Chains A and B, each alone.
Chain A
Amino acid sequence: EPEVTQTPSHQVTQMGQEVILHCVPISNHLYFYWYRQILGQKVEFLVSFYNNEISEKSEIFDDQFSVERPDGSNFTLKIRSTKLEDSAMYFCASSEGMRRGADTQYFGPGTRLTVL
């Protein structure tokens, strides 16, 4: 069964450093998403991406964040200058984008980001 993959599984970085989180969505999917989950809290939407541009973003997704689809398979989330409060689990998801309202999102296993 196709699945969303994410690398690395765990990333440790120093405050102020840039990090790039990698995702490979399911190959025929058109919509891509990033969510985050701070330890012990709920899953929060960050951004959705369609047709090589951001389709929606949350208030969390400020100028420190960016997303990119550098080739036909990868989807990345970049945090330019990490802060302690960016420590969280980051989930990538993808969906076909073919069924209005009924689109199933498939989530990856997540990348745990630890900012020291």
Chain B
Amino acid sequence: DAKTTQPNSMESNEEEPVHLPCNHSTISGTDYIHWYRQLPSQGPEYVIHGLTSNVNNRMASLAIAEDRKSSTLILHRATLRDAAVYYCILSSYNNYGQNFVFGPGTRLSVLP
């Protein structure tokens, strides 16, 4: 499985945008980029995913570099509820259901 690298922790002020980076320099052309988050004492929760183009949904935006070796999860206005561990995960187009390889993720703290 291709590996991802994320900062261990980040801090943001409430109501401000947050940019969470992820490096995946060994990504293959058929790997999707997924972002999940884990709120305290809960299971991981889907945030967003993409392949090549930038993606937006009601939770966040995903900006994917042109060479696909990095991506950035953007929370447009952080709230206290967004404090969580954020995981960047790759999955291969060659497979349907497949296991996710979770790294340590980025622990986001949101300050009031």
> A residues bordering B, Cβ < 8 Å?
4, 30-31, 33, 35, 42-45, 48, 50, 55-56, 58, 91, 93, 95, 97-110
Contacts and interface: CB of A to CB of B under 8 A. Distances in A.
B42 A109 contact: yes
A33 B42 CA distance: 16
17 contacts: A4-B43, A42-B103, A43-B38, A45-B100, A45-B102, A50-B97, A58-B99, A91-B43, A91-B44, A99-B96, A100-B93, A102-B49, A102-B51, A102-B91, A102-B93, A103-B96, A105-B44
A105 B46 contact: yes
Contacts of A102: 32, 49, 51, 91, 93
A36 to B, nearest CB: 11
A45 B32 contact: no
Contacts of B42: 109-110
A4 B102 CA distance: 20
The dominant DSSP class at the B interface is loop
Nearest to B48: A104
A45 B94 contact: no
B57 to A, nearest CB: 11
Nearest to B90: A101
Contacts of B98: 48, 56, 103
Contacts of A50: 96-97
Given A91-B43, A101-B91, A105-B46, A42 B102 contact: yes
The dominant DSSP class at the A interface is loop
Contacts of A30: 97
Nearest to A56: B99
Contact of A42 (B96, B99, B104): B104
A87 to B, nearest CB: 16
B63 to A, nearest CB: 18
6 closest residue pairs by CB, A with B: A31-B97, A107-B43, A101-B93, A45-B99, A43-B102, A101-B32
